[in-house]
Chain A
Amino acid sequence: MGLYHSLIEPFVAYGFMRRALAASLALALGCGPIGVLLVLRRMSLMGDAMSHAILPGAAIAFLLAGLSLPAMAFGGLIAGLCVALLAGLVSRATQLKEDASLAGFYLTSLALGVLIVSARGSNVDLLHVLFGTILSVDGPALALVAAISSLTLLTLAVIWRPLIAECFDPGFLRAVGGGGSAYHIIFLALVVLNLVAGFQSLGTLMAVGMMMLPAAAARLWARDVWSMMLVAVAIAFGSGLIGLLASYNFNTASGPSIILTAGLAYLGSIALGGNGGLLPRYFPRPHYHTLPPEPAE
């Protein structure tokens, strides 16, 4: 009875808990795979950079439309896309690698945003207004996150082969005329889209956290990209579920609870992960005396 009361009943009795769980699932499905690709392309800090880069877009939207959340989210999306795309193009066309070009653009964008906000003389903490919390996800916000997740999964499925090729052997893709840059741009657009939707409905900590922590943890378990993504989605959704239950039963803040759970999963993966974690290194299993049989064709 106690178990039901703590674990199942919260979702039965409260609409906001059900929506929060659904939002966790949608977010996991969208951000998990994207996060895995970011980790593999060594762009893991992009999420945090993006949370700053969207400021001028939100600021300009605020100047034009006042404190309208859809307008500010849209402005933020445009700004984020510009920064991501410019950074991507510059890293392709010049000596600068991804990290330096992104740093350059997002910092410039942030400064521009601060300038616009302070020139207006307003004291409103725009970014604070823009970022929500998972407990306040309503119908439209949930629909938005779900739609973006679906779009993400669909797009990834379609451009899967060139995207993966572009990740690990871009030279080959260029040589066969695959057009690597276009897929990179599409990928960046997906990243920004998922992040901005995440910021707006769930807050910056949750959006970036759900994207990167499960992906980093999954790296230590899976041996190919496809299973990495599955593990990442599972960890992300699991963190959402456990974090929400913790927030319900122990009265802790919801966003941080979810992300801390993901963080624990990450630490656990470092310790125990089958693919490069610490446990196999310090407690290795006995070696094979004869070669294991090769798998059948």
Chain B
Amino acid sequence: MRFLAALFLLMGTPAEAAPLKVVASFSILGDIVHQIAGDHAEVTVLVGPNGDAHTFDPSPADAAKLAGAALVVSNGLGLDGWLDRLSASAGYAGPRVVASQGTTPRTMVEGENPKPITDPHAWQDARNGLLYALNITAALVKADPANAADYERHMQAYGMTLAMLDKTIREKIAAIPKAKRRVITSHDAFGYFGAAYGVTFLAPEGLSTDQEASAGGVARLIDQIRRENIRAIFIETMADPRLIQTIASETGVEMGGALYSDALSPPGGPAACYLCMFENNVPKLVAAMAKN
């Protein structure tokens, strides 16, 4: 009789009921949620790997994903303003967490527009990543108290890993003389990284992603590289690879390789998780800066 009662109790516990449906706005958030929640949550990411969250244009299918969600995770800081509109149109009234809550925002200048805007790339500072994880954990606990213990446990482990990562990055970069810590890159996402770890990121002059290259533009970029004497260059997304090669051979500088800043790579790629992203970027940056 007691055996049957125990059986009933076991069956009755809601712990292994359907996993929590969580929707994250983009791949980095999705990964952090997955690290904290593990099997307890089924994470749907709206802007997938290699996607561009700045210019994402949601479709009705995305609204449907929101409909059954128990928690929506957004970045904030102006990255995913479209999420508010999407939630409204999907009629989602459930819990929402802004992962960047509590971070100190920076400003940036985007593209040709001289007016500064809020820089949304807070996750490029590993300490902010810690804040993200904490915010997400709190939201998960609130939405799913039954598994709070697991969430807290995962957070502990993840938090330690992040702290270790932050320390490692600082050490690696500190090993490079301050004068050499300069990088030219087309990614405008490294503002927080630069401020946190003491690296100066410069935008390439003369080239732009959406326009065909002009002779004057190429000349100015070459001038900049020579003038600033920077050998750490990451511009592979900006132009035809042959043009990049021309610039490389003219300046005698080898291009630094692919960096991941706004999204993760697909699974199996070099930056399939948030931690992996740093593990891909930092060694490349360090190796390139050492050549300066």
Contact = CB atoms under 8 A, between A and B. Distances in A.
Interface of A: 10, 13-17, 20, 132-133, 135-138, 244, 247-257
Contacts of A135: 213, 215, 218, 243, 246
Interface in B188-241: 206, 211-219, 222, 240
Interface size class for chain B?
10 to 19
Contacts of A17: 215, 219
A254 B215 contact: yes
A255 B249 CA distance: 21
Nearest to A19: B246
Contacts of A13: 219
A101 to B, nearest CB: 35
A244 B222 CA distance: 16
A244 B212 contact: no
A251 B212 contact: no
Given A14-B219, A14-B250, A136-B245, 7 more contacts: A16-B218, A16-B222, A135-B215, A136-B242, A247-B216, A254-B212, A255-B212
A25 to B, nearest CB: 16
Nearest to B213: A135
Nearest to B251: A15
A252 B212 CA distance: 8
DSSP class of A's interface residues: helix, strand, loop or mixed? helix
Contacts of B206: 251
A255 B218 CA distance: 14
User: Which of the listed residues A15, A135, A138, A249 has the most CB atoms from chain B within 10 Å of its own CB?
Assistant: A135
Nearest to B219: A14
B250 A133 contact: no
A191 B240 CA distance: 27
Which of A10, A15, A136, A252 lies at the interface centre, i.e. has the most chain B CB atoms within 10 A of its CB? A136
A251 B214 contact: yes
Nearest to A14: B219
B147 to A, nearest CB: 41
23 contacts: A10-B215, A14-B219, A14-B222, A16-B218, A16-B246, A17-B215, A17-B219, A20-B215, A133-B243, A136-B240, A136-B243, A138-B242, A247-B214, A248-B215, A248-B216, A250-B216, A251-B206, A251-B214, A251-B216, A251-B217, A252-B214, A253-B213, A256-B212
A248 B216 CA distance: 4
Contacts of A132: 240, 242
A138 B219 contact: no
Interface string B238-263: 00101101110110000000000000
Contacts of B249: 15, 138
A125 to B, nearest CB: 12
Nearest to B249: A138
B245 A249 contact: no
Contacts of A254: 212-215
B69 to A, nearest CB: 30
A11 B254 CA distance: 23
A10 B214 contact: no
Contacts of B215: 10, 16-17, 20, 135, 244, 247-248, 254
A138 B246 CA distance: 7
A250 B211 CA distance: 14
A254 B215 CA distance: 6
Contacts of B250: 14-16
A40 B215 CA distance: 34
Nearest to A20: B215
Nearest to B243: A136
Contacts of B222: 14, 16
A256 B211 CA distance: 12
B219 A248 contact: yes
Interface string B48-85: 00000000000000000000000000000000000000
Contacts of A247: 214-216
A247 B214 CA distance: 5
B279 to A, nearest CB: 28
Contacts of B246: 16, 135-138
A257 B212 CA distance: 11
A248 to B, nearest CB: 4
A52 B206 CA distance: 32
B87 to A, nearest CB: 31
Contacts of B217: 251
Contacts of A14: 218-219, 222, 250
B245 to A, nearest CB: 7
Contacts of B218: 14, 16, 135
A135 B213 CA distance: 8
A10 B243 contact: no
B212 A133 contact: yes
A147 to B, nearest CB: 19
Contacts of A244: 215
B68 to A, nearest CB: 31
Nearest to A13: B219
A135 B218 CA distance: 8
